[in-house]
Amino acid sequence: MRRRMDWIFPAWKDLIRMQNLTMTRNSNNVLIGMSGGVDSTAAALLLTQKGYHVTGLFLDVLGNQTEETEAARALAERLGIDFISKNIAVEFDSRIIRYFCDAFAGGLTPNPCVLCNPTIKFRILAETADEVGAFWIATGHYARVVYDSDDDIYYINKAKAVSKDQSYMLYRLPQSILARIRFPLGELTSKEEVRQLVRTYKVGNEEKKDSQEICFVKNGDYADFIQQRGYHPSPGDFIDANGTILGRHKGIVHYTVGQRKGLGMTFGKPMFVIAIDQEKNTVTLGDDDALFRQYVKGQDHVFTGHETEGVAFPSNIKGQGIQAKIRYAAKPADAIIKEIDSRELTVQFKEPQRAPTPGQSMVFYSGERLLGGAIIKGE
């Protein structure tokens, strides 16, 4: 697994970037990440309507996205905005794809977007904005940024379109980014409102479907992708909670906590993946009831406004009533951070949560305000 500081900008870079750009906040130049989809298109349109001079940036993360690059370029022309593309495949491969494969091979279920946002996407947006003389950066994420003058901290709030909210994916962004970001879609109330905006301008992609998969795994078959990358997991044992062998599994990259389908065996009753042990190469199976946890441990935690090395968490967070999500699609659940130090924390939920999955993020809120998050640890 990667070192803690791989997840965030070093503090000195935060300070230098903020100092260099403080005087340019009144600039109307904005660099927006463009995927060619409806959301980034709508965000670019909204920024143009507000008088910004918009430049689109397409990031080729695979090094072979010529068709996607040219589609984004043509879209920028129809929108009447400038356009830049960058091939970042080498860095993306070494920092994101390799992390993804290593984590799965280690029995975890990673969320690569959580790592990519601070270390790749938003960092490169900020660096490229500096190159073209833009202070502001933007994306088509559904979220909002607010400045709290009492705390002197920029926070992320949930989007008004609650069902589309993407704040969960953004909890590791540092202050140097939040001070510059624009999320135009955060104020809209539905995806249909976004599509209608794009239809009005007739740019041609208003009915394009949302991407549902990880961008570098096109068919959704993670195990196949990992094996194509040269990882060859060994078969091992399915066991129950007592260690009794129930059968053989195909290799731990094929499984995730909470999984029922695709086990390759029948057991006479529904069985679920309860735990994965990479060292012993075992997959523990059990009833659905065995998936529920009231206490969940996390590591590599960050809290908004407290990204500086050595200041891992705000002093008043322990014991505070919060809401926490243990996966992107989960509903926020009432919880308390019971124990916390610089290495890990323990969260107690009011009601037990189903299948907290090692490698996924546990993200903390106070109402609509994003507080921070952590990577879920195994037991």
Which sequence positions are flagged as catalytic? 116, 215
Q: Where are the alpha helices (DSSP H) in the chain?
A: 11-21, 38-49, 66-79, 89-92, 98-105, 112-116, 122-132, 175-178, 191-201, 222-228
Residue with token string 């991407």: 211
The length of the chain, given as a count of residues: 379
Residue 76 Cα distances to 54, 80, 209, 275, 304, angstroms? 10, 6, 19, 47, 33
Contacts 24+ apart (CB under 8 A), 125-131: 125/31, 125/33, 125/57, 126/17, 126/176, 126/177, 126/180, 128/31, 128/57, 128/84, 128/86, 129/29, 129/30, 129/31, 129/180, 130/17, 130/20, 130/21
Q: How far apart are CA 226 and CA 243, in angstroms?
A: 28
Positive or negative, the CA dihedral 255, 210, 158, 182 is positive
Q: How far apart are CA 315 and CA 299, in angstroms?
A: 17
